[in-house]
Amino acid sequence: MIRNINHIGIATHNLETAMNLYGKIFGITEFHRERVEAQKVDIASFRIGNVLIELTAPTSPDSPIGKFLDKRGEGIHHIAFSTDNVDVELARLENEGIALINHSAQAGAHDMLIGFLHPKSTGGVLMELCQNR
Ligand code: CO
């Protein structure tokens, strides 16, 4: 079952610039910093209520987020929803005819398991499912 929104991923070329900007808007001084090698990203995240805002910069231009920035520029990259079991939900959605980017759970930030649905099947919105391990 898909429950709440876990985080919103925002693509940025430069994490320091984005941290300054979001820090100013939300009055945030402390960010959780992390490099996720599996996704080739550096992230800086902070919590607004129950939702994480995840500022995401590529560690390499050939990463998915690097390609997104080339094509679409900075802005909202994906919305991530919490689920109890990413693999079960991916299988259910594939069965419903939804195209998937990941067919099984991958390593994500915050030690979560994640999987992306393909935006061509979700009205142009990149959706991620995530699960605490
Ligand atoms: Co995410």
| pLDDT tens-place string over residues 59-113 | 998 999 999 999 999 999 999 999 999 999 999 999 999 999 999 999 988 889 9
pLDDT of residue 109: 87
DSSP state, 99? -
pLDDT of residue 48: 95
pLDDT of residue 39: 86
Q: Contact 77/128 with Cβ under 8 angstroms?
A: no
Burial class (CB in 10 A: 0-12, 13-18, 19+), 15: middle
Burial class (CB in 10 A: 0-12, 13-18, 19+), 114: buried
CA of 79 to the centre of ligand 1 (A): 7
CA of 95 to the centre of ligand 1 (A): 23
pLDDT of residue 61: 87
| pLDDT tens-place string over residues 30-68 | 999 999 888 899 999 999 999 999 999 999 989 999 999
pLDDT of residue 63: 92
Q: Which residue has the tokens 């979700």?
A: 122
Altogether, the residues listed in the chain come to a count of 133
CA of 129 to the centre of ligand 1 (A): 8
For residue 128, count other CB atoms closer than 10 A to its CB: 24
